Structure 1
Amino acid sequence: MQSGGVADAAVKLFGDPLRAEIVRLLAREQMCTCHLVDDTGARQSTISYHLRVLREAGFVAAEPRGRYTYYRLRPEALSMLTSGIADLTVQAHQAQAVRRPCP
């Protein structure tokens, strides 16, 4: 994952406080929209919007179960993000010794 991709992915995951809360909730268990509405107090349409953002970014998978759809975090996507952040951390440490001269 390139550094721009890492930043974009991190924003998709944690760029909104409600979306970050949804991620924290889904880290504990699979949930349907009604659970997320109850636990967050947000409107169903708002929860659906954030779930769509997370699905499109590849962080959440959906699984239909009867009348309901359950959502879960995709650990492999989180692993790719953490690996990308680790690479950025290494680069940041190395950059401490590098300064571009001004013209």
Structure 2
Amino acid sequence: MSWFLLFLAGLFEIGWAIGLKYTEGFSRPLPTILTVAAMVASIVLLGMALRTLPLGTAYAIWTGIGTVGTVILGIVLFAEPATALRLGCIGLIVAGIAGLKLTA
């Protein structure tokens, strides 16, 4: 259950990171409210997962999920570059996440 909570926390992290772009400097009320709600949900779920998961592992995986998801959505939604080097680096992050999960 803790791994599932951690995964959800990572998804909410992606949500708030992407949401920041849509708030336009916190000048748009609805995107701002949704972004702040995603921030709170992400932290609460991370805290719940930390009841049983090691801190270092959980935090690294949480940020890794957020990083990978945000980069992928940045490519899809905002036409950010998808160079081979950039995608290779994302692959390294995914490998690190998998390694941490396997050793936890």
- Return the index of the structure with the highest Cα Rg: 1
User: Which category describes the TM-score, using the shorter chain as reference length?
Assistant: 0.3 to 0.5
Greater per-residue helix proportion: 2
Greater per-residue strand proportion: 1
State TM-score, norm by structure 2: 0.37
